Structure 1
């Protein structure tokens, strides 16, 4: 059944991929984005589609629309971008949540919150299940993002309990793929861009800290499965449980690019988690979802995207 769907942050990395998939299914899609980290180029191919509309809008301001579903993806998600204006970041998470929840309450729309594995902080439980409450510094340089997302989850569940709003909450683990920004400061894009340019690969700490990397197509499939599932609010972890050290990731990227870049080590940033891996048992049992794209295949697609974007030669993988 055709739905009218709002995506806040829809011109961003994840939002634009979600937009593609929803339009493919024949839905009417409205993208609201202030273009702080989103890019018009990510959605330009839809501008002539009668089922697509773009509104330049900041989610910290209320918006009045008639919609059936809302995906709230608006918030800078990489440390350099969310730390650039920490107060704005926390406003985006908190006021943005209040505004989309108010819209959902009025229109009786199902509303989706893109939460994050950062709500687990530097975890003392590994891997992280949804039942884990986290180990988060409330006053650190990352707190504007971590705590903003935690408060947003609280607001979603309070609106659900108090006003009967139909909510869905996903906790996103590290995701990568085409349309990432080359300067977004995330490890996959950092390593690929540095390798393609022949620059030194920057490793923070000893490189033994771990992350789990989910290819964007798998993540978006998880989003849509949750939105299509009745009687399940989440929160639910969506991510790839394959766990890699930063050194392992750097070695894979260097080998695929054929780069002579050297590894250089820098001090670990404040509050940087030592390990991160989702327990996806709940996603498997309640949504029938698990990731399908191996890291090697996803890296090939992402490297090819950046090589074209940066006009860098990309030798054989």
Structure 2
């Protein structure tokens, strides 16, 4: 009997590459798929010659063909940072809709179980705190962030439709802010943004008054939660994140202390629809998965900062405005 086979889309991304590592470690045959619109080949370089890893460069919004059997599919192909999805809004909507539809069809044809990567952004700027899976959200469908939020909300809806109508085995993880090695330094998210500014000797930029909150989960904890959810028998959404909440202003001061820099914090206008509070209620994950985060923020941040310090000067100063002109946004 051969190894179980898993397809991971968005494999060259931050979470996707860590998932490839985890499933190879668990003894799976892994097929990674990415079109490198936001992923990075170096995230998978260490797996290039691994006997249980195969890579396919492909855009999941196009028809997907995989030879042989498949046991599991994990759909992590999507721009996930504001800089990306505001620059390529149509592609973001397409990967959440057309891409998810293609993978649902593939899962049905292969009789595979499909896990989709949803997000805490489905809750919008929440009026309920902390956020439970039963909360429907407070979202702006036509705002600039709507291209990401609505792509993920649709993704959840079509996944549950396939689950109910076709009896497809599906899982939905709602991912809260996650950090760790292999994050893109200049992707616009708060941790790489702060650390990049600290390493370049720039002042740390806080948007708004800094009283908005975030909850940061280390990548190893996130991957463990996703792995357990995939192998569970629960088909409804599950929050996976760290419930330890901190204000952005306090977090900026933590980064200054961690990095040993002397910069100050400067304040700029808050972006449209930026959520004021973000904290997961993980009661359900504890109950059905026996999962909760283990890595405390000070430990995880030190590992992450050491990773960023190891980057070349070229990577450190590379602009976040990646050229997406070759991608069809029509």
Residue aligned with 2:310, SS: helix
Q: How does 1:37-52 map to 2 (within 5 A)?
A: 37-52=38-53
Q: How does 1:1-317 map to 2 (within 5 A)?
A: 2-65=3-66, 66-230=69-233, 232-311=234-313
Q: Aligned residues, how many?
A: 311
Query: Partners of 1:23 and 1:191 in 2: how far apart?
Result: 32
Residue 320 of structure 2 corresponds to which residue in structure 1? none
Residue aligned with 1:276, SS: coil
Aligned-residue offset at 1:41: 0.4
Query: Partners of 1:20 and 1:191 in 2: how far apart?
Result: 27
Query: Partners of 1:295 and 1:310 in 2: how far apart?
Result: 25
Residue aligned with 2:168, SS: coil
RMSD: 1.0
5+ long unaligned stretches in structure 1: 313-317
Runs of 4+ in 1 over 3 A off after TM superposition: none
TM-score w.r.t. structure 1 length? 0.97
Residue aligned with 1:115, SS: strand
Aligned-residue offset at 1:300: 0.1
Aligned-residue offset at 1:234: 2.4
TM-score w.r.t. structure 2 length? 0.93
Aligned-residue offset at 1:311: 4.9
5+ long unaligned stretches in structure 2: 315-330
Deviations 1:78-113 (A, max 9, x none): 000011111111011111110110000111100000
Query: Partners of 2:150 and 2:13 in 1: how far apart?
Result: 21
